[in-house]
Structure 1
């Protein structure tokens, strides 16, 4: 088996940062009314700025595949061009279409020649699953290099016009229609952007990071879906997919909007997250003392203190001085968040040879968790 190193890392965050007062102007007011949930959600998540692929005139500037293409090109220079990529592996929760696959579309924009591609589906863990496919492909000698990426373009799923048909239906039934909290909640949580890494079998570059191991865990056998799109949740907890609804119903219930069951989120996301972290620690014979930088992807600062408390409760407390977060300034970029976080840590100049970095990525879709353990070379 070969060793695997992250030798380059990049990000692409579109346009100018959007502050809290600009959000509703960018995304639009549903039914012409200001959201009642917005201030509550923003107060809890403590995100101050985020990025949208929407310009000053409200026009879309990039689709998801274009965001990813920009991040991939930001990895490259005259010494390593897009034509040198042997494997492209890209994860996202918000693909531009059902088919072709997300990575196929990214490859189409790159126009860089024939190569292998991989498109893992899912939510936040899809970016890490993209990384793991590249990691294993190099480790087994299938390829000599791999570009892996995570990206989101969720602003297009959150714009007011997505919910217009549903609000019209509600207006016919009641005087003051209010969009359900499980849909409105996510409008104030998510951000657009992309991140990418180059994996190689040699420790090249100014700050190469050796990928020691990656682990993944799913609790779908225990817990029903929490975050979903393209489906409606039934009373028994099962999802009814879009393909089983008449087309005329899709808009009436905002079927393709992202939705989240916040009750399930609060009950499970941290408990299972720490449980799976313990499994990863035990399998690889390490503990909190073997971590110098802890990068947990959290969707909201609401979870920060509670995550620390859960780590402590389950006996794997990680001191605050080891934590590295950038949620406040870049927002929750889903599958791209861990790439953007790692890029900022590397660019900070804080890392020194021998430092050990733990990446911890949850996804609430049906409670999956993915980990990577890196060493600075």
Structure 2
């Protein structure tokens, strides 16, 4: 088996940063009224700026595939050119199409050469699953290199226009024309962007990160769905797919909106995160002292203290000086968030050879968790 190194990392964040008070200028107002949830959600999540692939008129400026391709182009120079890439592995929870897959659309944007392509679907863990596919390919010698990416373009899913038909339907039914909190909540949580890494079987340049191991854990066998789109949740906790609804209800019930069961989120996201983190650390005999930086993907600063306390109670307390986050500045970019954190850390000048980094990514969709342990070389 080969060693696998992250030798390059690049990002692409579209347009100018968007401040909290500007969000409704981009996303619009549902029923021409300011959201009652917006201020509460923003106060808890701690995000101050984020990026949208939109103009202020709500016109898209980039597709998800274009965002990803722009990040990947940042990996290329005279030493590593597009023709040198052997594998492309991309993860996202907001592909531009149901089909073709996201990664083949990115490949089409790059237009570089014939190569293997892999698409990882899902939610936040999709970016880590894309990374693991590339890691395993290089490790077993199937390819000498792999480009792996995580990205999102959620802004176009959150435009007010997508919800107005439901509001009109509620008015016709003489019901309160207010969009449910499980939909409105996520309009103030999610943002756009992409980042990519180059994996190779040998270290290159002044700074490389060796991937020691990667692990994943799913709790779907015991927990119901928490975050979903293209479906609606029934009283028994199951979700009904969009294809089983009459097409007119796709609009009148905002079936394709991203929704989250916030009660389930609050009850399980930290508990299962602590449980899976301890499983990964115990399996590989890693202690808190073996971690110099932890990069936890959190959707909201609301969860940070609870996660820290949970680790401490489980005997895996990682002191706060080791925590590295950039949620406040770039927002929650789902499958791209851990890549964006790692890019900022690698560019910070803080890393020293021999240090160890833990990547932690939770996914609330049906409670999945992914981890990677890296050594600075």
Which residue matches 2:353? 353
Which residue matches 1:295? 295
Is 1:344 aligned to residue 367 of structure 2?
no
Which residue matches 2:115? 115
Q: Distance in 2 between matches of 1:83 and 1:21?
A: 44
Which residue matches 1:237? 237
Is 1:318 aligned to residue 318 of structure 2?
yes
Give 1:289 shift.
Answer: 1.0
Give 1:73 shift.
Answer: 0.4
Q: Secondary structure at the match of 1:132?
A: helix
What value does the CA root-mean-square deviation take over the aligned residues?
0.8
Which residue matches 2:60? 60
Q: Secondary structure at the match of 2:21?
A: coil
Stretches (4+) displaced over 6 A = none
Which residue matches 1:247? 247
Give 1:314 shift.
Answer: 1.4
Which residue matches 2:281? 281
Moved more, 11-20 or 51-60: 51-60
Q: Distance in 2 between matches of 1:269 and 1:176?
A: 31
Which residue matches 1:221? 221
Which residue matches 1:262? 262
Q: Which runs of 5+ in 2 are unaligned?
A: none
Is 1:89 aligned to residue 89 of structure 2?
yes
Q: Secondary structure at the match of 1:134?
A: helix
Q: Distance in 1 between matches of 2:94 and 2:17?
A: 20
Give 1:198 shift.
Answer: 0.1
Is 1:98 aligned to residue 111 of structure 2?
no
Which residue matches 1:129? 129
Calculate the TM-score normalised by the size of structure 2: 0.99
Q: Which runs of 5+ in 1 are unaligned?
A: none
Moved more, 72-81 or 258-267: 72-81
Which residue matches 1:4? 4
Per-residue Cα deviation, 1:1-37 (whole angstroms, up to 9, x for no partner)? 0000000001000000000000011000001010000
Q: Distance in 1 between matches of 2:201 and 2:175?
A: 63
Q: Does structure 1 retain, via aligned residues, the 8 Å contact 2:58–2:159?
A: no
Give 1:79 shift.
Answer: 1.3
Per-residue Cα deviation, 1:307-351 (whole angstroms, up to 9, x for no partner)? 111111111111001000000000000000000000000000000
Q: Distance in 1 between matches of 2:238 and 2:368?
A: 18
Give 1:175 shift.
Answer: 6.1
Q: Does structure 1 retain, via aligned residues, the 8 Å contact 2:25–2:57?
A: no
Q: Distance in 2 between matches of 1:57 and 1:280?
A: 46
